[in-house]
């Protein structure tokens, strides 16, 4: 393989960079292999009910919509659980900065698989926040029944006892969670295809769960730098406008 070289680089630098390039190529292949494995999952479980959400419809008026009605003419949809329940004064900063990153791609995602942002907050509150953040390309859903968030782990109500213990949740204490869930239409049945369960898997020392990294450009950009991510984590107030 022929390699490029930059002005005044040393032989030691080029040797190390070539070795890193080999590792980057291997990582690319691993990412592709994992994506193929994800696509090849057998049919998931049928949804327990046709969940009802609230969204902003025609003439900017709230309306209810069922999960089965979200597909349009596409076979697959993506739902992201946004951590901003009615008890939070402000949304989760991690969710917010990731959505800052994803909004640009959301301009195109409906061509293949519509993306919806679900939160347990009133729909007016969600759309107001979207305007404040400059998110023109998201469709928000308010989980008005609250059963979707429990069944698909957008909150902690159905967490196993061991996971509740890890999060030091007291009896009766519940919280919202972040997770992507993908659903696929199978004839007249809607089935769950995949969820970003790595959000709930043990993290390696000094890391967060990394479950949304592949769609979050901030972390990819920081990983290019000599300093890396360090202990940086963005705040809602700290973002540039």
DSSP, collapsed to helix, strand or coil, labels residue 144 as coil
Q: Where are the domains of the chain?
A: 1-40, 52-200
* 215 to 88, 103, 115, 220: CA distances (angstroms): 25, 10, 13, 9
CATH number, span 52-200: 3.40.30.10
161-195 tens-digit pLDDT? 999 998 899 999 999 999 999 999 999 999 999 99
Confidence of residue 240 (pLDDT cuts 50, 70, 90): very low
Q: What is the average pLDDT across 55-82?
A: 93
State residue 185's pLDDT score: 97
* Strand ranges for the chain from DSSP E: 52-56, 62-66, 76-81, 115-119, 139-142, 179-186, 189-195
């Amino acid at each position: 393989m022929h390699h490029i070289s930059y002005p005044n680089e040393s032989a030691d630098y080029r040797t190390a960079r070539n070795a890193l390039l080999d590792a980057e190529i291997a990582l690319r292949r691993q990412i592709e292999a994992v994506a193929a494995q994800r696509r090849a999952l057998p049919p998931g479980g049928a949804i327990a009910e046709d969940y009802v959400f609230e969204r902003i419809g025609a003439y900017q008026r709230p309306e209810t919509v069922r999960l089965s009605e979200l597909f349009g003419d596409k076979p697959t949809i993506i739902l992201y659980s946004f951590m901003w329940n009615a008890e939070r004064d402000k949304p989760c900063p991690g969710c917010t900065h990731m959505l800052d990153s994803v909004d640009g791609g959301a301009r195109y995602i409906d061509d293949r698989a519509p993306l919806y942002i679900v939160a347990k907050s009133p729909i007016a509150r969600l759309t107001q926040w979207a305007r404040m953040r400059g998110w023109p390309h998201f469709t928000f859903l308010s989980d008005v029944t609250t059963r979707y968030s429990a069944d698909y782990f957008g909150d902690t109500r159905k967490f196993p006892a061991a996971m509740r213990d890890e999060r030091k949740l007291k009896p009766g204490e519940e919280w919202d969670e972040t997770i992507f869930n993908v659903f696929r239409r199978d004839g007249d049945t809607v089935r769950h295809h995949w969820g970003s369960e790595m959000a709930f898997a043990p993290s390696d020392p000094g890391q967060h769960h990394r479950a949304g990294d592949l769609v979050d450009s901030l972390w990819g950009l920081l990983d290019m730098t000599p300093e890396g991510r360090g202990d940086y984590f963005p705040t809602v107030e700290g973002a540039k406008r």
